[in-house]
């Protein structure tokens, strides 16, 4: 057994004290151990061959040294807690429409939950119908709208005293402060608009604040529209963040989409079409509102047209391609409009197909010159001259093609288009009217002379 010198001394001292040994005995014992015990110094760990470099400062250290003191970030929405602990309470009692905001406030502060409130409101017949077909109504939405870690509640209800297919109503947002609710936003719809119906209450722009997405329904004689809005807490009050209007999209399908999964949502609305017979053949129209991080607004992008099996809509697509300078694509679409038996016509299949085919062939004459295919342009004109006789309505497109080529050979495509514009203006009732809303309804485009070429 090897003991260090200090340890040995302590051991001997304790042993002698335990045995009541005298100092002489202690000294003798120590002298006898000198010949047998080996004193060992406490081990010393040698330094490493290469000293370790000092640890770099952590990110936290740098932040504390350089960044100013900031308010703590909002609590993640998923971790928000109830504002008022649930407790036994009375059911929501019926009252006049104007008194419901305060009645609901008392209900919530007495321990009522959003789920219980929705049940009571349905029993009273004031719950708002769903804003979209085949969806469950959102009467009371609970989320953290202000970022304080406590759940707030948005409530939508109707004025049951007004007999209407889309009765007016109210949107009220109750926010939490020191474990008690108060009214932070109140919005009453006009009698011409339906009650503000809650569409969703999620965080749309990843700022850890839930947003309120709602819509008002307004209906005409045969068509209904939705006016959608996004409400966001700015630290003091709720403000609208959707720029523009959604009222031009009838019977909309409203979606919140995040295609690139960056936690920033866009509002996507697809028109379901007008319910009026005079609207004519319709195609879906999609409008998207994207979030602008600089302004904080959701701003409208370009409208996108959905697919259609109507011949007139294929003509529209071909015209748009020609206007963009995509002449090869436009030629393919015009040729399909002429030759396809699968496309639908609106009211008079035979006459509509002949008229649209004649117009498409005129455009094929013009676009081939833009591609410097003069021989092909002449060939299409010959087909037109053989197909459409002078006593037929479609003959005007033959004459317009001839006028175009005369101008083209004199001064190029610009002069050719000018000649076609003049001819169309002089013969608008026979060239432009058969292509527009008089035949195809008010939801389809109206042609002007400038639209004829290219």
* Cβ atoms 242, 289 nearer than 8 A: yes
Q: What is the pLDDT of residue 164?
A: 86
- Please state the φ and ψ torsions of residue 201, each to the nearest 5 degrees: -145, 60
What sign has the CA pseudo-torsion 152, 158, 161, 162? positive
pLDDT value of residue 156: 97
Residue 77: the pLDDT is: 59
- CA separation for the pair 448, 437 (Å, rounded): 12
Residue 399: Cβ within 10 Å count:
17
CB 432 within 8 A of CB 448: yes
How many CB atoms neighbour CB 296 within 10 A?
A: 13
Residues forming beta bridges with residue 6, ordered by sequence position = none
pLDDT of residue 79: 74
Note whether 175 and 184 are within 8 A (CB): yes
The pLDDT of residue 305 is 92
- Where exactly are the structural domains of the chain? 81-245, 311-451
Bridge partner list, 174: 153, 183
Contact between 126 and 132 (Cβ < 8 Å): no
Per-residue pLDDT of the chain (454 residues; tens, 9 = 90+): 444 444 444 343 434 444 444 444 444 443 443 433 333 333 333 444 444 444 444 443 343 334 444 444 555 556 789 999 999 999 999 999 999 999 999 999 999 999 999 999 999 999 987 666 666 779 999 999 999 999 999 999 999 999 888 899 999 999 999 899 999 999 999 877 899 999 999 999 999 999 999 999 998 888 999 999 999 999 999 999 999 999 999 999 999 999 999 999 999 999 988 988 899 999 999 999 999 999 999 999 989 999 999 999 999 999 999 999 999 999 999 999 999 999 999 999 999 999 999 999 999 999 999 999 999 999 999 999 999 999 999 999 999 999 999 999 999 999 999 999 999 999 999 999 999 999 999 999 999 999 999 9
Q: Do 328 and 371 meet the contact criterion of CB atoms below 8 Å apart?
A: yes
The H or E element that residue 226 is part of is: strand 224-233
pLDDT value of residue 278: 92
Please tell me the predicted confidence (pLDDT) of residue 163: 87
């Amino acid at each position: 057994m090897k003991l260090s010198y200090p340890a040995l001394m302590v051991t001997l001292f304790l042993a002698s004290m335990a045995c009541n040994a005298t100092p002489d005995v202690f000294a003798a014992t120590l002298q006898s151990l000198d010949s047998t015990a080996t004193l060992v110094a406490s081990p010393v760990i040698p330094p490493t061959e290469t000293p370790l470099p000092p640890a770099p400062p952590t990110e936290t250290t740098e932040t504390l040294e350089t960044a100013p003191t900031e308010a703590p970030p909002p609590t993640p929405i998923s971790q928000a807690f109830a504002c008022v602990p649930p407790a036994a309470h009375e059911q929501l009692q019926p009252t006049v429409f104007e008194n419901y905001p305060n009645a609901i406030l008392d209900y919530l502060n007495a321990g009522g939950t959003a789920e219980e409130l929705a049940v009571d409101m349905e029993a009273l017949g004031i719950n708002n119908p769903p804003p979209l077909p085949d969806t469950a109504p959102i009467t009371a939405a609970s989320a953290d709208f202000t970022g304080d870690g406590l759940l707030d509640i948005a409530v939508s209800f109707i004025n049951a005293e007004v007999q209407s297919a889309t009765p007016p109503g109210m949107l009220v947002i109750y926010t939490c402060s020191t474990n008690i609710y108060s009214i932070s936003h109140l919005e009453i719809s006009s009698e011409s608009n339906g009650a503000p119906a809650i569409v969703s209450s999620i965080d749309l722009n990843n700022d850890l604040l839930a947003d309120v997405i709602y819509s008002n329904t307004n209906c005409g004689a045969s068509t209904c529209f939705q006016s959608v809005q996004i409400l966001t807490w700015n630290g003091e009050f709720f403000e609208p963040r959707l720029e523009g209007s959604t009222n031009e999209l009838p019977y909309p399908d409203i979606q919140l989409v995040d295609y690139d999964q960056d936690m920033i949502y866009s509002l996507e609305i697809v028109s379901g079409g007008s319910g009026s017979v005079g609207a004519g053949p319709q195609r879906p129209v999609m409008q998207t509102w994207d979030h602008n991080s600089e302004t904080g607004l959701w701003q409208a992008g370009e409208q996108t047209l959905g697919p259609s099996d109507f011949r007139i809509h294929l003509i529209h697509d071909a015209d748009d391609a020609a206007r963009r300078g995509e002449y090869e694509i436009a030629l393919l679409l015009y040729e399909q409009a002429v030759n396809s038996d699968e496309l639908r016509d609106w009211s008079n299949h035979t006459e509509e197909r002949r008229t649209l085919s004649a117009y498409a062939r005129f455009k094929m004459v013009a676009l081939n010159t833009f591609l410097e295919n003069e021989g092909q342009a002449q060939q299409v004109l010959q087909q037109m001259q053989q197909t459409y006789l002078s006593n037929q309505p479609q003959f005007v497109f033959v004459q317009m093609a001839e006028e175009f080529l005369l101008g083209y050979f004199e001064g190029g495509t610009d002069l050719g288009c000018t000649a076609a514009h003049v001819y169309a203006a002089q013969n608008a009732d026979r060239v432009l009217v058969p292509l527009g809303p008089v035949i195809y309804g008010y939801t389809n485009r109206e042609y002007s002379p400038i639209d004829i070429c290219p």
